[in-house]
Structure 1
């Protein structure tokens, strides 16, 4: 019988994937009729080896000359027993992201063969594209939440997160861009729970992919 926390985990995993793709899709559907189309938009995929080991990781890298504007992921064959621990775009405050890494653990031991797929939404270079990040406090509390804000004058095109030190015992419950129907998003929030009681210290990192408005 699944525990209440395990039930919460399955709902969280679904929302994480959907919201990850929503954040990625923000650049495909401009908020304003005056917005220009994103030039050279393509999707790149990369899938890890399929086996029954506890951890799988893969990186989707944009073609040469293109940059990362959005992200997504998929777990294949694990039927609810896998949790994405890393959903991390590369780059930094002075470097445009060009790849996204997805890492996933088995939340409970399974003999099934499974794999992880990373999706990178890539485009010709956008003005001012950077990756912002915020690392939350490291402690043993059950829940933590952190927000990555775009630099002033930039808007959110994609997002990611990373759980640090919890190795499969943490579940991202919230993965949420701000903004609205008439407001461009400028930040991404990540909130995570412990799947089961975990005595170690751990933290959550939120990532925001941002471009000049």
Structure 2
């Protein structure tokens, strides 16, 4: 175990670590099977010991995430967008497209900032934004906010864990990952609760409309006792 930790420490302290972290974060932006967040947290853990520099970890992660999000956006403009636009009504892909369009219309680019903390969600949102023709300039602004906040978030989580367990980096990484999973769980829980509330409100309004035909018709229906 000591030899493994020494190897990991040497790799993280390498001057090439920033470049590798950039590449992994960029790849994760459009191919979400790479554990970029874990790598950012690990970098933050070792940064608490002085190497690498925390700023290198945060900047490399943020730049990689920013680049990867733009690759996903361009894929949405191209082949990915054609697949989405060909989605048939009633399919899961079509429902996702409808949801994304509604979410973008309601909350705009903030959806991208939130989605960066949802595993897999970031890619789905960035590709969909490209497919829907979301303006590139506005996309870049929100992608920048999302990337910087995500880089700070992962790096600082790791740094906190590394500072708490300076002599045991494994525990530091475990604490960082645990905090990250907790944040992800909270974000996902809030999203599920809001979605259920939205469905409940829609069902309530539908029931009220059925009970009041005048309201359902927007005032255009006249009841028999009013003629």
The verdict on a shared fold, with TM-score over 0.5 as the criterion, is: no
Whichever of the two has the greater Rg, that structure is 2
Please classify the TM superposition score into its range, dividing by the shorter chain length.
under 0.3
Q: Which has the larger share of helix?
A: 2
Q: What is the TM-score when the length of structure 2 is the normalising length?
A: 0.24
TM-score normalized by structure 1?
A: 0.25
More strand by share: 1
